[in-house]
Amino acid sequence: MITRLDQSMMAGLVESARQSPRRRVHRNFHPDDVYPAHRLMIAIEPDSYVPPHRHLSPTKDETILVLRGSLGVVFFDAEGVVENSVVLRAGGEVLGVDIPHGVFHTVFALEPGTVIFEAKAGPYVPVSADERAAWAPLEGVTEAAGYLAALREACGSTSG
């Protein structure tokens, strides 16, 4: 079945993200978690915190494109030092990144209603202890908000 990725779909995801405790939601286009190619649309609000992580499997390179709004992406070395950051904007000069496996990274919305498209190999496997950034706060802890604010500064943004 052909699925249209349209403005209506994005608007519905954005509304769901605004109501979600995690302040983000996704819509999978792959049929199940074991499918070999994962493709999903994610709506993410500025106060959603995605802890820095990496994907160790050599098949888990990750591609992210911004469809609506803007997204900060920060890359770290193994000790948590920011190595690079980029702002992705829908319709902008830089609208996506391809992240090699093994690279610590995080993403965060820089404006309300941000929607991204992500693609990487399946199957879905939860982030393991070796893939989590031990130097960053976990999602849902008090320290996460301050850490997220520092990441925004790394991308040259203090709003959100």
Question: What are 1-28's pLDDT values in tens digits?
Answer: 899 999 999 999 999 999 999 999 999 9
Is 32 within the bounds of a domain?
yes
Classify residue 90 as exposed, middle or buried by CB count within 10 Å of its CB (0-12, 13-18, 19+). Answer: middle
Domain hosting residue 31, numbered range: 7-154
- Contact (Cβ atoms closer than 8 angstroms) between residue 98 and residue 65: no
Between CA 112 and CA 122 the distance in angstroms is 29
pLDDT of residue 13: 98
> Which pLDDT tens digit goes with each residue over 93-120?
999 999 999 999 999 999 999 999 999 9
Tell me the chain's radius of gyration from C-alpha atoms. 15
The conformation of residue 113, written as its DSSP 8-state character, comes to: T
What b/e sequence results for 123-157 when a residue is b if at least 16 CB atoms lie within 10 Å of its CB, and e otherwise?
eeeeeeeebebeebbeeeeeebeebbeebbebbeb
Spell out the residues 6+ positions from residue 159 whose beta carbon is closer than 8 angstroms to its own: 46, 110, 111, 152
The answer to whether residue 96 is domain-embedded is yes
**1 belongs to a structural domain:** no
Cα gap 138→118, rounded to integer Å: 22
Inside any domain, residue 159: no
Position 6: which residue type? D
DSSP bridge partners of 38: 120
Classify residue 20: in a domain, yes or no.
yes
Are 122 and 38 contacting, i.e. CB atoms less than 8 angstroms apart? yes
Instruction: Please report which confidence band the pLDDT of residue 82 belongs to, taking 50, 70 and 90 as the band edges.
Output: very high
Q: Is residue 2 part of a domain?
A: no
Give the pLDDT score at 1.
85
In a domain, 146, yes or no: yes
Q: For residue 21, say if its preceding peptide bond is cis, omega within 30 degrees of 0.
A: no
Number of separate domains in the chain:
1
Tell whether the model's pLDDT for residue 160 goes beyond 60. Answer: no
Domain holding 48: CATH number? 2.60.120.10
